[in-house]
A and B are shown apart, each in its own frame.
Chain A
Amino acid sequence: MHALEARHAPVVSLWVWYQVGGRNEVPGTTGMSHFLEHMLFKGTPAHPKGDLDKLLARYGALWNAFTSEDVTCYFETVPKERYPVALELEADRMRNALISPEETEAERTVIVSEREGLENDPSFLLGEQLQRIAFSRHTYGQGVIGSKEEIKLMTRDGLYAHYRRHYAPNNAYFIVAGDAPASELLDRAAAAFGPLEAEAPAEPPKAPEPPQFGEKRVIVRRAGGALPILQIGYHAPCASDPRAPALSMLAVALAGATAGGGETASGRSSRLYRALVDTGLATAVDASFQLMKDPYLFVVEAHLRSGVTHEQVERVILDELARTARDPLSDDEFARTRRQMLSASAFMTDTITWRAFRFGQLLATGAASSLAEWYDRLAAVTAEEIRAAADAVFQEKSRVVGWFTPEAS
C-alpha cells in the first residue's frame, strides 16, 4: 500500500492494481481477465448490482477500470469525504463479487459489443495481427479482449475460479493520492483491506518469448478503412530494464510526447512527424514504448495519405530509425526531447488521478519504486544512451511489420 499527498484540491484518487491480465490466460480462455473486470461491477451481497454505480455517480466520481496484458486495475476519484466509502466498495469487491450466471449472460453481449466496436477500427485489426505474430510463445500475443468465440464460450464457473485465484490483497497494489496526510490515507486503507484473506499466489503461464531470427510480416486486407496503415514493431526490453527510460525518451524523439497529426500542435518537431507528415506522406504518426512486466514491443504506426505506398513510408521510417541508432540526437533535439518528457511527467502528476495512476504503473510493472526515482532516471538519460537503446532495439531480425491495405467495397 502506498499513499501520496496531493493537497491542491479536496479530492482523493484510489487505485487497486491486480496482478492479473491477458498474460495469465491460455488459449480457450482469452479475454477472461477483461470479462472478469466487467463482472466486478455486478454486485456483492453487501452491495447488490447498481449500488456501487449509483453511490459513485452521486459523488460525481471519476471511476472506471481497465485490463491490460499485465494487470487489471480499478479506480475511483472522489471528493475526499467520500474516501472511506470508496475504500469500502473496493475492499468488498476484492473478495465478495457475486458473478452470478444471470449477470454473466447479460454482460457477455456488452463485451461482444465492445469487441465489435474495436473491430470497426482498422488500426485495431492490424495491431491485433501484429501482436499475434510478434509472440510465438509468450501470452502477450493473445492481447487482452480475447477472441469473440472464446468470449461467447466463457463460463461463470471459470470466471469465478479466476476471480478467487487472483483477487486477493497479496496479489494487488493499492495506491492512493489525495488531500489528506499520507499516514491517514494509509491507516484507513489498512483498516479496509487488512481483514481480507490472502490467497496462494498464482503465477502466470511461464512461456518466455524466444529470440526472433528474422523479420516477420503480416498484411490485413479489409474494406473497413479508406487509407493504408503501417505498423512496425521491434521486440523491446521490459519496464525494469535499465534502458527503459532511454526507450521512453526515444519514442518522444521520434513522434513527440503526444501523438502527432490532426489538431495536435505539439510534437511536430519530432523526427517522424517531420519525415512523414510535413512531407505529405502520412496524416499521423506515433511511436510508443510501453512499460510492461516482460519484454514487449516498441511500435511505430503511420496512417498513410491516399496514393502513398507502404513501401515508401516503410523506407522513410527505417531510414529514420537507422539514423537514431547511428548518430546521437543533436543538442537542440535532445534538449527538446528531454523537456517534453520531463514536462509530460509534471503535467501527469499535477492531476491527482494521473499522479496515482503513474505511481501504480511504475510499481506494477517494476519500472521504479517511486515517482521521483522514475523522474530522476528520465532526467539522467543522455543522448548517447538514447542512441544506444535505438541501436539495441531497431534490429531487422527482431522486426515485425504490418500493413493494412484498404480493399474496394
Chain B
Amino acid sequence: MVHSGGVVNVQRHRLPNGLRIAVAPISGLRSVATLLAVEAGQWFEPAGRPGIARLCAQAMLRGTTKRDAKSWADALDAIGAAARLDVGSHAATFSAQSLAADVGELLTLMAEAVVTPAFAPKEVELVRQQTVAQLEEDSRNTRAVAERVWRELVYPAAHPFHARPIGDPAVVRAATADELRAYHLRAIRPDGAVLVVAGGIEAKRLFDEAERAFAGWSAHGPREPRSASSVSLGGTVRRIEIVPDKTQSDVVLGWPGLPRTDPRFVAARVTNMVFAADTFASRAGHVVRDELGLAYYVFSTIGTSRGQSPWTVRMGVNPINVERAVSVTLDELRKIVGGKVSEDDLELAQDKLVGELDVARESPGGVASLMLEGEVFELGPDHVERYPRELRAVTLDQVIETARTFLPPERHALAIAGPPLPVAD
C-alpha cells in the first residue's frame, strides 16, 4: 500500500519459467497500471538488423494463434483498456491501464500477443508497410532527422544504438515473417522479463492471474550474450541536414552514456539534472530559455539500458540562434567540468529528482514506473526506498567527475536538422 509520507510496498513473486512479478496494491483506486517489460529492445536485436525488434513487437499486436487481429482488438476494447507496446533501447514494454476487475482478461490478451503471436504474412506485410510510411514521414520530421543523424555520428554501423528503434529502411523492407518468428523465439522470453503492476488490486489475486496467463510461456535455449564495443568520441563531430520547408531547427547535442547497471549511473542522473534536464532546475535549460529566450524547449535525457545509451540535450531553435544556443549550452557544461558549480545547484537538482518520486505516487502509472527500473535492472528489492537516499548522497565532486568523464565539452556530437543555417560573417 502507498501511504502518506511512507514508501511503496512492493510484493514479489517469480514464476517457474523465470517471469518476475512485482505488485504494489493501492487502496481506493478503480484501475490498475500494468507494465510487461521483455528484454527485447534494441540492445538485444540481431547485429546489423535494426528495426527487427519493433517490427516483431508491432506484429505481435496483429493476431495470435487463438484469435485473429480483429478478434484480439475487439477483446481488448471490450474491457476498455488503454494499451500500447513500445520498443526502446533495452526493453519491449507492453503498458496498459485497465479497470481492476478486468486485469485477468487484460493479462490473458497480453500473454496471447506476447507468447503466441501468429505472424500471419498479410499482417506482417501491413506492419511493414505502416513502418515504411512512418519512416517516410520521419524523413521530413526535423526531430526524427536530428536524432537519426546524431546516432549515425556517434555509434558505428553494427552498434545496437546506431539506428533509431524504428530501424533502418532497408532492413524493414527486407524483413520476412520467418525472421520475425525466429527473433520472437529467441528474444521474447520470460527469463529476464518483468511484470510490474500498481493499483486497486490485491497481490495474491494478481499473482494468481499472472500465473494462469503466463504459465505456458517458456524460454527456448540459453540467452545469447549481447555486447557491443565501447564507444567514445575522439573529437567534436557535427552534421547539418537540411529538411525542406521548415521554420525551426531541431538540435541534438550529446555523448554516449553509461549502462544503468554502472555504479556511477545515479551520479550521472544528478549530473544530468544539474546540466540540462529541466528548463528551470538545470543550468543550461535556464540560460537557453529563461535568460536568453533562444528556445521554447530545451532538455536533456540519459537513456537506461545495459549499454551506452544516448545522453543528449535536445532543443528547438530558430536557425539564426542555433550556434549561440549550442555555444551557451557548452559554456554551462564547461563551468560544471571546471568545478564552477555550487552546492545550491546540486541541492536543487537533488530536491527535484527526489520530489518527483513523491509526486509520481499520485497515479497507478506513476507508481508502476517508479518500480519498473529497479525490477528490470535488478537493482535490489529495496530499490524504491533506497533510490532517494542514493540521489541525496551524490556529492559535488562526483557531479564534476561524472561530467568530465562522460560529457567532455571538447568531444561532442552535434546534429542539426531544419532550414539552412545562416552563413557566418
Contacts and interface: CB of A to CB of B under 8 A. Distances in A.
Interface of A: 6-11, 13, 49-50, 53-54, 56-62, 77-80, 106-114, 116-117, 119-120, 122, 179, 222-227, 256-258, 261-270, 274, 277-278, 280, 283, 303, 305-306, 332, 335-336, 339-344, 346-347, 349-354, 406-407, 409
Interface in B333-384: 348, 351-359, 361-366
A53 B318 CA distance: 25
Contact of B74 (A61, A111, A269, A306): A269
Given A60-B352, A110-B289, A347-B31, A268 B73 contact: yes
Contact of B2 (A9, A107, A113, A264): A9
Contacts of A332: 74, 78
Contacts of A409: 244-245
A280 B83 contact: no
10 contacts: A110-B295, A113-B295, A116-B247, A119-B246, A222-B245, A223-B244, A265-B83, A266-B83, A332-B78, A353-B363
A50 B294 CA distance: 17
A409 B244 CA distance: 6
Given A9-B2, A224-B244, A265-B85, A339 B78 contact: yes
A227 B355 CA distance: 42
A269 B73 contact: yes
Range of interface residues on B (Cβ < 8 Å): 35 or more
B300 interface: no
B84 A306 contact: no
Contacts of B290: 49-50, 53
Contacts of A56: 280
Interface stretch (B10-18, B134-142, B183-191, B260-268): B134-142
A60 B358 contact: yes
A351 B140 contact: no
B84 A265 contact: yes
Given A226-B136, A226-B139, A342 B80 contact: yes
Given A113-B316, A339-B78, A340-B77, A227 B137 contact: yes
Contacts of A256: 77
Contact of A223 (B31, B245, B278): B245
B359 A53 contact: no
Contacts of A222: 245
A381 to B, nearest CB: 15
Contacts of A347: 31, 82, 97
A9 B362 contact: yes
B405 interface: no
Nearest to B243: A224
Contact of A268 (B77, B247, B292, B318): B77
Contacts of B99: 343, 346
Contact of B77 (A11, A117, A266): A266
Q: Which 7 A-B pairs have the closest CB atoms?
A: A60-B355, A343-B80, A409-B244, A351-B363, A53-B280, A268-B73, A223-B245
Contacts of A258: 82
A350 B82 contact: no
B351 A58 contact: yes
A54 B280 contact: yes
Contact of B248 (A78, A113, A278): A113
B94 to A, nearest CB: 8
Interface in B70-119: 70, 73-74, 76-86, 94, 96-99, 113
Contacts of B132: 306
A120 B355 contact: no
Identify which of B77, B81, B139, B286 gathers the most chain A CB atoms within 10 Å of its CB: B77
Contacts of B297: 117
Contact of B418 (A120, A269, A336): A120
A344 B82 contact: yes
Contacts of B199: 350
A171 to B, nearest CB: 27
B280 A11 contact: no
A336 B74 contact: yes
A344 B96 CA distance: 12
Interface in B361-412: 361-366
Contact of B30 (A80, A339, A346): A346
Contact of A351 (B4, B85, B130, B365): B365
Interface stretch (B21-29, B149-157, B217-225, B303-311): B21-29
Tell which of A49, A111, A343, A406 has the most Cβ of chain B within 10 Å: A343
A120 B359 contact: no
A11 B134 contact: no
Nearest to B29: A350
Given A117-B316, A120-B142, A352-B362, 18 more contacts: A11-B359, A58-B281, A62-B359, A106-B291, A109-B293, A119-B248, A179-B4, A256-B77, A261-B130, A263-B58, A269-B70, A280-B129, A303-B137, A305-B133, A332-B78, A341-B80, A349-B30, A351-B366
Contacts of A336: 74, 77-78, 80
Nearest to B325: A113
A110 B325 CA distance: 12
B137 A283 contact: yes
B234 interface: no
A110 B288 CA distance: 10
A181 to B, nearest CB: 13
